[in-house]
Amino acid sequence: MGRREWCFFISLIPLVEFLSITSASTLQQQQCADSGGGPAGVRVGYWSPSSSRYSPVSSIDTSLFTHLYYSSVSIDEKSYAVAPPSTDESSLLAAFSSTIKSGSPSVKTILSIGTNEYKVDVSNAAFSRMASDKILRGVFINSSVELARANGFDGLDLSWIFPATQMDMENLGVLLAGWRARIIEESATNSLSEPLLLTATLYFSNHLFGMPDSNLDYPVDDISKSIDWANILTFGFHGGSNVTTVDAPLYDTTSHFSVSYGVISWLDAGVPPCKLVMGIPLFGRSWFLRNKAKNGIGSPTAAAGTKQRKSNQTGIIAYAEVEEYMNSESTVVTYDNQSVAEYFYNGDLWVSFDSAQVVQHKLEFAARSQLLGYFLWTIGFDDTNSTISKQASESWHQYARGGFGTIHAGGSNQYVAFNSSSISFGSSYSKTLSYLLSSVVLLVTLFH
């Protein structure tokens, strides 16, 4: 896409957002009417076995969630079955569902099968090979269903981060369809249980940026048909940046790396809002400033922030650890209205993160977009009072009261107050505008 089209596109983002939210297509709404999640939507938490030393499963406040994910196990690159967990982790895996359900029987548990973060290339190559072959797909799918049932899970999730070619994308569609078929078949022979849920953890937008193939889009129709919902990774946008930047802004008028862009791209591609679940990071992004006196957004950095106890990764800091800095007198905190993000600096440390206030605004956006729900990544990073998990659950109940998958009563006017643009629209005017804009959006999509 040329520079001029791009600028044009950027300037349209607020309007496009308005368009998508007021006119989510009739077809999308119909698909929503008879599906998923129940009247209160989903409030999802990902739990990582690596957090068990400071956030054991028994410490999770299950009342704050409808679905809890065990994240994750991976694929075995020799057999293409789900990789058996290590000895340490197999006891955690075995105890996960029973521990959660002993206190809250209605909470559903989901086993996420994903790219192994310690060997991304090998693991993604295995997903790619498996998805391309009918027999191997059968091996993988069957092993996943067996492992889920053997450990009392209610569902399965695919967290392949990320398919990298158009062939991968096509095969992903075939894999999900075959998986759904197997789940239906299995539930028919297993009259004691509900069919397993099937979800996928996907890139923040339906188009993948920065890949060798610049035309890489998800198979949106296959995804919509085969899975219960998609959890989209609407965070972690700027890990490699050499200047300070907010890492998961709701809005960004200068690039497509924002939560709102991602959500709207999926809706515009045709995924019904009731199949979309938006991610909230429970981690912040940290840097050391090159010059302490230059501490705003866009300031030069010297290095990624040091590894913290919980995250065990440079440049990543858990919300609980952010909070420890926030209690210090020498920490200066800024809430950025424009992007809806928060950051602080303390000496030469600079951190952007999602505060309770940011989470509240993001969930207001998710509810107005009529999404199915949200997920928190990962819940072990919250503080011991579950501050962010509580804020999220409360905001969701507050904003999403109107129900899901139906257009809220009252027509489009109520969305106008939504602060994506300072222009104020009347409802008849907005219809004409929507029509005009949709042609522009189509045009822009073709350039894309």
Binding site for ligand NAG (CB under 6 A): 50, 135, 138-139, 142, 242-243, 300, 312, 337, 383-385, 387, 419, 422
Distance separating alpha carbons of residues 271 and 124, to the nearest angstrom: 25
* Least distance to ligand NAG, CB of residue 259, Å: 15
Residues 269, 224 contacting (CB under 8 angstroms): no
Of 86 and 165, which has the nearer Cβ to ligand NAG?
86
* Least distance to ligand NAG, CB of residue 186, Å: 7
Of 322 and 437, which has the nearer Cβ to ligand NAG?
322
Residue nearest to ligand NAG (CB): 138
CB neighbours of residue 284 within 10 Å: 29
Beta-bridge partners for 111: 70, 156
Of 189 and 432, which has the nearer Cβ to ligand NAG?
189
Of 107 and 379, which has the nearer Cβ to ligand NAG?
379
* Least distance to ligand NAG, CB of residue 290, Å: 7
Contacts of 270 (CB under 8 A, 6+ apart): 25, 27, 28, 220, 221, 224
* Least distance to ligand NAG, CB of residue 142, Å: 4
Of 422 and 428, which has the nearer Cβ to ligand NAG?
422
Of 31 and 286, which has the nearer Cβ to ligand NAG?
286
Of 28 and 395, which has the nearer Cβ to ligand NAG?
395
What is the distance between the terminal CA atoms of the chain, rounded to a whole angstrom? Answer: 6
Beta-bridge partners for 56: none
Closest listed residue to residue 406, CA positions, set 123, 32, 8: 32
Residue count of the chain = 448
* Least distance to ligand NAG, CB of residue 385, Å: 4
Residues 376, 44 contacting (CB under 8 angstroms): yes
Of 135 and 446, which has the nearer Cβ to ligand NAG?
135
Distance separating alpha carbons of residues 345 and 332, to the nearest angstrom: 5
* Least distance to ligand NAG, CB of residue 129, Å: 15
CA–CA–CA angle 101, 107, 111 (5° rounding): 85
Contacts of 55 (CB under 8 A, 6+ apart): 47, 379, 380, 382
Of 31 and 378, which has the nearer Cβ to ligand NAG?
378
Report H helices in 327-386.
356-368
* Least distance to ligand NAG, CB of residue 138, Å: 3
* Least distance to ligand NAG, CB of residue 236, Å: 17
* Least distance to ligand NAG, CB of residue 327, Å: 9
Of 107 and 131, which has the nearer Cβ to ligand NAG?
131
Residues 230, 202 contacting (CB under 8 angstroms): yes
* Least distance to ligand NAG, CB of residue 133, Å: 10
Of 276 and 318, which has the nearer Cβ to ligand NAG?
318
Distance separating alpha carbons of residues 246 and 284, to the nearest angstrom: 9
Question: Buried (b) or exposed (e) across 248-282, using 16+ Cβ within 10 A?
Answer: bbbbbeeebbbbbbbbbbbbbbebbbbbbbbbbbb
* Least distance to ligand NAG, CB of residue 302, Å: 9
Residues 370, 381 contacting (CB under 8 angstroms): no
Question: Given the DSSP bridges, would you call strands 155-159 and 197-203 parallel, antiparallel or unpaired?
Answer: parallel
Query: Which amino acid is residue 310, in one-letter code?
Result: K
CB neighbours of residue 364 within 10 Å: 19
* Least distance to ligand NAG, CB of residue 443, Å: 26
Of 240 and 410, which has the nearer Cβ to ligand NAG?
240
Question: Given the DSSP bridges, would you call strands 341-346 and 349-353 parallel, antiparallel or unpaired?
Answer: antiparallel
CA–CA–CA angle 93, 96, 102 (5° rounding): 155
For 225, half-sphere exposure in the C-beta direction (CA atoms, 13 angstrom radius) is 13
